[in-house]
Amino acid sequence: MNMLKYFFGAMPPPRPTTKRERRYGLLARVLVLGPALVLALALWSLPLPSAGQASSGNSTASATEERVKAAFLFKFPNYVEWPAAAFAQTDSPYVIGVIGEEAILEELRRISAGRSINNRAVTIKKLQPGESLTGIHVLFIGANDRGRQAQVLTQANMLPILLVTETEGALAQGSMINFRIADDRVRFEASLVAAEKAGLKLSSRLLAIAISVVKGSQK
């Protein structure tokens, strides 16, 4: 409820008196608020299949989790401000790098095909061990590669890269956004401290749907 109150604003409209008014009043506010709220409501509320379904050999749970994480990764650039020097030119593309998670890599390629973010094209790149991080704007380190996660996060330290992980304790290592499963849903925690060190500014709209935030000086 706090998240929804935040998106709806501090000055609520007159209280609807009928069920029909309440329903259409909510729809109107969703249309006005735009993609930030749509993303929050759609992804935050999407339940994953039960553990029983997954353990029975059904791959649906894993596939759903990967799709949701890929969708978040594709949308994150809308809610992050990079320093101008992070882009070689004013029309340079966003580059989303992926380490250690083929399924999310392929899903990102699928959903980004022919699409742009903030009038920039989007490039999805698979990063090999030891490859330079120069020119990367969003970097996702999958749990499959947790063995070199600390090394990669150290390598990226102070670079203008949004670092996204999916392992316990990753924020303490320098990650900025870390995916978590809470109540059978894909959620995330965020670190303003790490983002500020890299010169990135995370939108308050993004932070509003995080399950927890390590505070910095950003408001």
Residues 145-191: pLDDT tens digits? 888 899 999 999 889 999 999 999 999 999 999 999 988 889 999 99
Nearest-10 Cα torsion for 10, 15, 16, 22 = 30
pLDDT tens string 37-67 = 445 544 544 554 444 444 444 555 567 899 9
Q: Of 160, 155, 101, 107, which Cα lies nearest the Cα of 136?
A: 160
CA–CA distance, 196 with 176 (Å, rounded to integer)? 9
User: pLDDT class for 3, splitting at 50, 70, 90?
Assistant: very low
Of all residues in the chain, the percent with pLDDT exceeding 90 is 62
Q: Which residues, in sequence order, are CB contacts of 179 under 8 Å at separation 6+? A: 69, 72, 164, 165, 166, 186, 187, 188
Q: Is the pLDDT of residue 136 over 70?
A: yes
For 65, 83, 94, 181, 182, the CA distances from 185, given in Å and listed in that order, are 8, 32, 27, 5, 5
Closest CA to 214 of 176, 168, 186: 176
- The DSSP call for residue 98 is E
Domains and their CATH numbers in the chain: 2-33 (no CATH), 66-214 (3.40.50.2300)
